[in-house]
Structure 1
Amino acid sequence: MTDTPATDTPAPTEQRRLAVVLVVAALILVVDQATKYWAESALPGRAPIPVLGEFLQLRLLYNPGAAFSIGSGSTWIFTILAAVAVVVLARLATQPQTKPRAIALSLLLGGAFTHLLDRLFRAPSFAQGHVVDFIDYNGWFVGNVADIALFCGAVLFVIITFLADRATSEK
C-alpha cells in the first residue's frame, strides 16, 4: 500500500467550470465597457433615442449612486461595496458549483467588476467615479449592460434557491 499525497487541485471539470465563469464575467465586462464607450461618444447632448417608443430609449446619464440614484452623495461607499462583492464572488467562483450556479456567479461577477472599474476610474475622481447609464426603461430607471447581467444573475440565484428548497422539502 502506497501513500498518495492529498492535493487541493480541483478536478478538470471544476477547472473548466471556473474557466467558463471567468470567461463569461470577462465577456460581460468587455461588452459593458464597449457599450459605455459607444454611449459616451454617440449620445451626449442628444434627445433620448427611442428604441421601442418611449418604453425603451437610449439616453446618457452618469450615476453617482446605486439603482435609482439612491445614495448619490456616498459614491465611495458603493466603491467599497463593489470591491467586497467582487472578492466574495471571485472566492465563490473557486468553489465547486452546479452549472446554473456557476452561470449566476459569472453574471454577478462580471456586473460587479465592471461597476467597480467605473467607480475606481471614471470622473469625477478615483474611487468616486460615476457609472455610465444609457438604457432608459420607460423613465423608471436608466441602466447599462452590467445592470442587466446583475439582474439576471440575481434572478437566477433566486430561482436556483427556490428550486433547491422545493426539492429538499419534497424529500
Structure 2
Amino acid sequence: MRLVFWAGFWAFLSDQASKYLVVHVLNLRDIGQLDVLPPLLRFHMAWNEGINFGLFSNSADTARWFLILLGFAISGAILMWVYRDPPGKMGMISAGLLIGGALGNVVDRLLYGAVADFLNMSCCGINNPYSFNVADIWIFAGAFGLVIWGGSKKAT
C-alpha cells in the first residue's frame, strides 16, 4: 500500500503545483491564453464545472458536490480493491496515480468551484477546443494501468 500512497502523493502534488503555477503565478485566469509551443501546446484557461468536456455543467452547484462525493467514493473503492486483492507493483502505482489525480480535481472543486483545466494541444490543422490538466493525465494513466496490471499478483 506504500506504493499507492507515494504514487498518489506525487500525482496529487504535481497536479496542484502545476495549477498553482498556471492560475496564480502566470495569472492565466485573467490573461486566458498563453502560447507555449503553438499550435502544439497552449495554456488555455477553462473552468470545468461538469465532467469531461463540460458535460452536466448546467446545475453547477449540485454537480459540484456530487462530483466531489464521487471523487472520494471512487478513490475509496480503488483503495479497498487494491487492499483486498493487491495487484503487482505496476498495479499499485496505477491505483495511486488514479487516486492522486481524482483527489487533485476534488481539491479544485473545493477551492474554485470548478476544475482548473489549462493544457490545450492541437496538431496537424486540427484545432482542439478542449483543455485538460495534469490530474486528467494521471487519472487516464492510472485507469489504463489498472486495466493492464490490475489483476491479482497471484494470477498467472
Q: What is the TM-score of this pair, normalised by structure 1?
A: 0.73
Cα distance in 2 between the residues matched to 1:101 and 1:69: 30
Q: Given residue 19 of structure 1, which amino acid in structure 2 is its aligned partner?
A: R
Give the alignment partner of residue 6 of structure 2, picking from 23, 32, 37.
23
Structure 1 residue 56 and structure 2 residue 46: aligned? Answer: no
Give the superposed CA RMSD.
2.3
Corresponding residue for 2:114?
130
* Amino acid paired to 1:110: G
Which amino acid letter does the alignment assign opposite residue 160 of structure 1? W
2:97 to 82, 101, 107: 107
- Residue 52 of structure 1: CA displacement? 3.1
Paired residues, number: 142
- Give ranges in structure 2 of 5+ residues lacking alignment: 123-127
- The unaligned stretches of length 5 or more in structure 1 are 1-17, 124-128
What's the counterpart of residue 11 of structure 1? Answer: none
Of structures 1 and 2, the larger Rg is shown by 1
CA distance in 1 between partners of 2:149 and 2:30 (Å): 43
Say if 2:101 and 2:135, in contact at 8 Å, map to a contact too: yes
Dislocated runs of 4+, deviation >4 Å: none
Aligned-residue offset at 1:157? 2.4
Contact conserved, 2:91 with 2:150, CA < 8 A, in 1?
no
1:29 maps to a residue whose letter is F
**Which of 140, 143, 149 is matched with 2:132 structurally?**
143
Q: Distance in 2 between matches of 1:46 and 1:112?
A: 27
Residue 46 of structure 1: how far off its partner (Å): 2.2
Is the CA contact 2:4–2:96 (under 8 Å) kept in the aligned structure 1? yes
Does the alignment pair 1:45 with 2:30?
A: yes
Which residue type is aligned with residue 64 of structure 1? E
Q: In structure 2, how many angstroms separate the alpha carbons of the residues matched to 1:75 and 1:158?
A: 28
- Indicate how the Cα distance of structure 1 residues 140 and 93 shifts in structure 2: closer, same or farther if over 3 A, else same: farther
**How many Å separate the matches in 2 of 1:158 and 1:20?**
17
Q: Deviations over 1:3-29 (max 9, x none)?
A: xxxxxxxxxxxxxxx112101101111
Please say if residues 122 and 131 of structure 1, whose CA atoms lie closer than 8 Å, have aligned partners that are also in contact.
no
Identity %: 30
Task: Confirm or deny: 8 A CA contact 1:46 1:59 kept in the other structure.
Answer: no
Q: Report the AA paired with residue 134 of structure 1.
A: F
